[in-house]
Amino acid sequence: MLLKVWYVDDEFDLCEVFSDFFSSAEVEVKTFVSHLAALQEAKINPPDLLFLDYRLKGATGDWVAQQMDPAIPKYLVTGEASPPCKYPYLKVIYKPYRRQDLDEIIQQYLDLKQKAQKNAS
């Protein structure tokens, strides 16, 4: 059972770091440097958990969050000191973040998903 975690950031290196950190047998990490691609795919195959960078090329993460299904849990990841946000994120994570900060969140959702699947079966 895989947890689908997406990370949207216009910086490729940060996408790579995210992927390196959190990809595992249980977690399927998918990164997007284009928020438009993310929005497109989300319509077909939405993620279980979404991490959005605030400052994207041509848009803000906040705007992207508002376009996505509200059911998707969303976390904002930003280098800004105090980004103006409208969307009620579950948490705002500031760059540079510690791996364990996100580990805990991902692990929490992984546990929840595993628990749900177990209940279903």
Residue ranges that bind other proteins, judged by CB under 8 A:
11, 13-14, 16-18, 20-21, 54-55, 58-60, 78-83, 94-99
Torsion angles phi and psi, residue 48, rounded to 5 = -85, -30
Q: How far is the CB of 27 from other proteins (least distance, A)?
A: 15
- Our CB check for other proteins shows the closer of 20 and 69 to be 20
C-alpha distance from residue 21 to each of 75, 86, 104, 107 (Å): 16, 28, 12, 12
Residue number, 97 or 112, with CB nearest to other proteins: 97
Residue number, 46 or 97, with CB nearest to other proteins: 97
CB of 93 to other proteins, least distance (A): 10
- The answer to whether the CB of 56 falls within 8 A of the CB of 10 is yes
In terms of CB distance, is 107 or 112 closer to other proteins? Answer: 107
Q: Which 3-state string (H, E, C) describes 15-82?
A: HHHHHHHHCCCCEEEEEECCHHHHHHHHHHCCCCEEEEECEECCEEHHHHHHHCCCCCCEEEEECCCC
Residue 83 CB, shortest distance to other proteins, in Å, is 8
